[in-house]
Amino acid sequence: MRVKKVLEEFGGDMKKSEDLLKKEGFEKAAKRAERETSQGVTETYMHHSGKIATIAEVFCETDFVARNEVFKDLSHNIALQAASMGEKDILNQDFIKDPSKKINDLVKEAILKTGENIRVGRVVRIVLGDK
């Protein structure tokens, strides 16, 4: 019903409607930020060259979400991002698969989809020597 109301409000303009609904969703995600994140995964990624490895901690509220595909994809993308772009200020980096989004946007989208608070913990990038 909310989608229908927003579409009517904007005269059927899909882009404006989508922008408003995303904004409302991100505001809901911000309300979840205070909830404890004691579950999660430690995702690892090894670049195909074998010379770069990453480890990323990603936390959520329950073990059910930690096993969810949305959460697993997010964790993998964070580890992949760190391998490609480095771990410094990772939440504010442009996502390598879609530069119109920041990593923080991916986290917020996952929060909306799962209904739980999600937090990125430590992210480490390791450059390995020649083999």
Greater confidence (31 vs 81) lies with 81
Q: What is the pLDDT of residues 93-106, one digit of tens each?
A: 999 999 999 999 99
Confidence of residue 92 (pLDDT cuts 50, 70, 90): very high
Q: What is the pLDDT of residues 55-70, one digit of tens each?
A: 999 999 999 999 999 9
Structure confidence at residue 18 (pLDDT): 73
Greater confidence (45 vs 32) lies with 45
Given a cut of 60, whether residue 130 has pLDDT beyond it is yes
- For the residues of the chain, what is the DSSP string, one character each? -HHHHHHHHTTT-HHHHHHHHHHHHHHHHHHGGGS---EEEEEEEE-TTSSEEEEEEEEES-HHHHTSHHHHHHHHHHHHHHHHH-STTGGGSEETTEEEEEHHHHHHHHHHHHSS--EEEEEEEEE----
